Structure 1
Amino acid sequence: MITLQNVSRWYGQVIGLNDVNCTIGPGLTALLGQNGAGKSTLMRLVTGQIKPTTGELKVFGMEPFANPEVYRRLGYCPEIDNFYEHYSGRDFVRFLARLDGMSASEAKIRTEEVIAMVGMSDRANRKIQGYSKGMRQRIKLAQAMLHNPDIILLDEPLNGLDPVGRREFIDVLGGLAAGGKCIVVSSHILFEVEQMTRSILLLHRGRLLATGDLRDIRDLIDKHPHKIRIETDNPRRAAELLAPLPNVVSMSFDRKGDALQLEVRDPNSFYDSLSGIVLEKQLEIRSFSSPDNNLESVFKYLVEA
């Protein structure tokens, strides 16, 4: 549905997107990157708000810039709010439905459908100016789905949602993707993306660093030692038991003396061995975590590779 061939976008002397090649089809695709990576630029290009400086961008086989034929099949949920604050959420969505060309009866029916999908039926009569960030995000998604578009683009849609709201929001997106829609979601938080999809595009400073299944991207990290922190009342015993494991590269004690810091290769294999040692040797562990298990580390390893 979306294809980019050698697409670049410059803002004067600043590079927003640099020679990007990719194809995005039906299903849910996550657009990952830190702030300034080029995610919003890519969104604005696909939605036809700006033109590529160089390269070719096609949506449904057409150039999206100033193209109503493309707009009719796109839904967009921008990161920045721009509401009529004195409207209620229901009135705002219905107003946009009428602008889309729906009759009064069609607009009313469709408004109730999309408001129900985003879990706002019981709060839609409140004025938008009194909405929380999460409620605003839901109404933005509702308006993006009004005209039943084939492609829906959402720029940082989970910002401001509580854990329950995020789970519900992700379920809605998953249902749309399962129905054949092309959903593109930008985010800079890896654990959120892992709950949504395995298909990702990884951007850094305007360049596309990696694309494909998240497990394949993870493999890029697994070639490097992973840092793991284990909290235990007996870190020295833990060190004695874990040191012989073949995938342990190094270890050290935390300054407070209640934790063990390790570097390991093939972390999945290490976790399997760790669980076996805990059961067999009755090793008591309060918690363990990996500071490398995040998006920032993915970028670090890819950039330094």
Structure 2
Amino acid sequence: MKYAISINGIGKRFGNEYALKDISLELGKGITLILGPNGAGKSTLLRCMAGLYKPDEGRVKVLGKDPYSDAGIRKRISFMPDNYGLYDFLSVRDNILFFSRLYGVNDDTAISKAMETLKMLDADSYINTKVGQLSRGTKQKMLFCKALVNDPDVILLDEPTAFLDASSSAQVREALSDLAKAGKCVVFVTQRVDEATRFNSRICVIRNGRIIKDTDTRGLYNEVLSGITVSIRLARPIRQEIRSKLGKNVIIENGNIVKARIRDYRDINEVIERLIKNGAYIASVDYAEPMIEKLYAGDNDEE
């Protein structure tokens, strides 16, 4: 089968309002990022893929079947929601067993798989702890663990790294990359540009219920990192006599914040090289915020 997920012209309404309008996508093996602001329709699209919502228009096929009407195909899909989805009064073990039995997974297999994932996330010590006693970040690890317990072919994740620290987020991304390499179809929803661009993968940008851009990491940089202002934070204030050497497209704020207007992503390197050559020490570069503003403001809508 060429595509794990095939979406043809779907629309989804809530009352008289469209949450999704005329969306068509074909997703194969590997990771696809669905990127968009709050209220763009990301979660609704994911729920249509999972078979939790029935589109009002068009059709969705997952592994050749309708996920809304075919219970059998849903056993080959996992869905990690953004709204928690575990039972606080049960232990982590009992949550895993409850959900794995719904998929028809043997208890020993389910716990073995769960422990493997929890060890990766440094959370295996919580296996017998009631979920309600866990921090929100640890609950997120349990939710990710639950999403893998049935060894799914299609993995649908809504903000999977929310509430996680940097180390755990990196471990989740690494695990998803390994699953993609193993031939799984992974759909990763996020509102964060910096998260989406950590994968060298396909990126679909959604706004107001429509896909406005279908590209990849390099393409996103090429198209959006142009004519914007990036912010470069310096480890210490820059000397006054250096400022005149940085060019007309560079201004200094508060001594250690450099604002640089760039033509494309290659200009970032040129500005940094110029700063370092003149004795500056770079602490960080922020391009995500201006990218978000440009992406979500509608400047790049595709007709």
**Same fold by TM-score, threshold 0.5 exceeded?**
yes
1:269 equivalent in structure 2: 267
Segment drifting more, 138-147 vs 175-184: 138-147
Structure label with greater radius of gyration: 1
CA distance 1:114–1:237, shift in 2 (3 Å): closer
> Which residue among 203, 207, 211 is the counterpart of 2:206?
203
Aligned equivalents of 1:158, 1:32: Cα separation in 2: 14
Q: Equivalents in 2 of 1:290, 1:304: separation in Å?
A: 21
Identical counterparts, % of pairs: 24
CA apart distance, 1:96? 2.1
Instruction: Report the 3-state secondary structure (helix = DSSP H, G, I; strand = E; otherwise coil) of the residue aligned with 1:56.
Output: strand
Give yes or no for the alignment of 1:142 onto 2:145: yes
Match among 155, 160, 163 for residue 163 of structure 2: 160
Q: Partners in 2 of 1:273 and 1:251 — Cα distance?
A: 8
Deviations, residues 17-60 of structure 1 (Å, cap 9, x unaligned)? 11112111111111111110111000110011111121222111
Q: What per-residue deviation string (whole Å, max 9, x for no partner) do you get for residues 249-280 of structure 1?
A: x44453x466553322134235236415633x
Match of 2:72 in 1: 69
The separation in 2 between residues aligned to 1:110 and 1:261, in whole angstroms, is: 48
TM-score normalised to the size of structure 1? 0.86
Matched with 1:242 is 246
Equivalent of 2:14 in 11, 15, 21: 11
Question: Does the residue aligned with 1:36 lie in a helix, a strand or coil?
Answer: coil
Q: For 1:49-68, what aligned pairs fall within 5 Å after superposition?
A: 49-68=52-71
Change (3 A) 1:252 1:39: same
Which range moves more in the overlay, 105-114 or 165-174? 105-114
Instruction: Show the 5 A alignment for 1:1-305.
Output: 1-229=4-232, 231=234, 232-235=237-240, 237-238=242-243, 240-243=244-247, 250-254=249-253, 256=254, 259-272=257-270, 274-275=272-273, 278-279=276-277, 282-285=278-281, 287=283, 289-291=285-287, 295-300=291-296, 302-303=298-299
Change (3 A) 1:241 1:11: same
Letter in 2 for 1:216: G
Q: Residues 275 and 6 of structure 1: is their aligned pair in 2 closer, same or farther, counting only changes over 3 Å? A: same
The worse-fitting range, judged by mean Cα deviation, of 33-42 and 196-205 is 196-205
Deviates more, 1:58-67 or 1:101-110: 101-110
Q: CA deviation at 1:70?
A: 1.9
Query: For the residues of structure 2 that align with 1:150 and 1:230, how far apart are their CA atoms?
Result: 43
For structure 1, the residue ranges without an aligned partner over 5 or more in a row are none
Q: Which amino acid aligns with 2:279?
A: L
What amino acid is aligned across from residue 26 of structure 1 in structure 2? K
Q: Decide whether the 8 Å contact of 1:45 with 1:51 is kept in 2.
A: yes
**8 Å contact from structure 1 (residues 30, 197) kept in 2:** no
Partners of 1:230 and 1:287 within 8 A in 2: yes
Give the alignment's TM-score, normalised by structure 2. Answer: 0.86
Output the CA distance in 2 between the equivalents of 1:94 and 1:66: 25
* CA separation of 1:251 and 1:98: change in aligned 2, threshold 3 A: closer
CA offsets per residue over residues 97-140 of structure 1, 9 Å max, x none?
Answer: 23332444444444444444554322211111111112211211
> What's the RMSD between the two structures over aligned residues?
2.6
Count of aligned pairs between the two proteins: 296
Q: Which moved more, 1:134-143 or 1:269-278?
A: 269-278
Q: 2:197 aligns to what SS in structure 1?
A: helix
Secondary structure of 1:303 counterpart: coil
Instruction: Indicate the larger mover: 206-215 or 114-123.
Output: 114-123
